[in-house]
Amino acid sequence: MIRIALYSDTWACQSPLSCFSVIWSSRCSKTSNFPDMMRGYAPKPRKRCPIPFAKDPEGLVHSKVRRTPDRLVKGLSYIMEDEPDVNNGSQSLPPFGGGGQKRWFERGESFKLNTTMKVKVHCGFTRSSGAGMTIADMRYVKGCKKLFCFVMLVDEKILSLMKYRETVEEDIHGGLRAGIWRLIPLKHLPYNETRRNEEISKLLIHRLIPQAQYSIWVSSKMVLVADPLLILERYLWREGHSFAISQHGYHHSIYEEANASKRRKKYSRPRIDAQMKVYQSEGLEPWSTKKRVISDVPEASIIIREHTMLNNLFSCLWFNEVHLFTPLDQLSFGYVAHRLGEAFKYFMFPFCEFNSLFELHSHSWDRFEMRFGGEINVA
């Protein structure tokens, strides 16, 4: 049983459940001459509701929790070879996570499940595209199998800022720490888009920390205000779920979310349109009350999961959609769940409970530098 807390885009921590997020933006600056209402994003009061946590948290015996059996996916392995991408007779190494002309065919095959299935899929890292962890960091992560670990994932730019602000100390084992958090720098990040790099710590945590049994991913813009053990009991153990995520506050259909993303200029309109065109051609209908799920769109700022083989496969396939299309993961969650069908079951909890799990950071910064997501993993 391990408690692992991973944060990136962070520079200091005040307690095990809170940290400051390094997200610079001129729109957040208190020195700006434009009031919030004129910028069009005045904060609205968030609807909250009580979370039915266990009344006796001291009575939780997490060591006696039964793991979810892997009944469908019997084995999961990853394509590690760097397959060249053939283009006009020339060969070049593919992007992070594999690629080439085979990739599109393999994408379709990866969604086909059967009762004796042993799966081999693309899932980010290949032999020549690792996270660049040091030997000391890898040794520390392996030790998390026997204890609760709090690990903060950072990129090299954020680490440099933390060192400049003198919030980093070196422990007796040669590791870097910021308060309770063990810092693990991720090197050789593959994308030139920060938003896409964020998805590595968000969706590939089962590859970065393979010893983890459970994880809770929390966006770095938020401060978790609930005990992670109580969260696991409420959203997974109590009713036998293995994957939990919040409903979106406004949208149920990914096509609605796509239109909203274009209006808010979250990403390139042609790229969003191309992604939606593919999903529509592959049979994903707009959400309606006739569907088996209450929504196709999650609020993906908190993800609670048990690291079963099926959930790890789902995370790989979800990441592959981010890799192939846009880094807007809310657009691809419902599609991957749709392709896996009844095999992948998840608990989508009320949005008002999501609002009760956290507080937003209230810090201001003068300019935008970079954003690199945050994460708490408990296992």
Region label for 185, one of left (φ > 0), alpha (ψ between -120 and 50) or beta (otherwise): beta
| pTM greater than 0.85 | no
Residue 280 clears pLDDT 90, i.e. is over it: yes
Q: What is the pLDDT of residue 37?
A: 40
| β-sheet with 176-178: strand ranges across | 151-155, 181-186, 176-178, 169-170
What does the pLDDT read at residue 130?
Answer: 62
Q: Does residue 328 have a pLDDT over 90?
A: yes
Count CA within 13 A, CB hemisphere, residue 197.
19
Give residue 11's pLDDT: 32
pLDDT tens digits for 17-46? 333 232 222 223 333 333 444 344 455 667
Burial class (CB in 10 A: 0-12, 13-18, 19+), 116: exposed
Q: What is the pLDDT of residue 5?
A: 42
Residue found under tokens 């890898």: 138
| DSSP E strands, 203-311 | 214-218, 222-224, 243-247, 298-306
Higher-pLDDT residue of 132, 42: 132
C-alpha 159/C-alpha 176 separation (Å) is 10
Which residue would you say has higher pLDDT here, 311 or 363? 311
Give the residue carrying structure tokens 């002309």. Answer: 101
CA dihedral (359, 20, 187, 106) in degrees, to 10, reads 10
Q: How do residues 53-93 score in pLDDT, each as one tens digit?
A: 998 877 776 667 888 988 888 889 888 776 554 443 444 44
Higher pLDDT, 315 or 151: 315
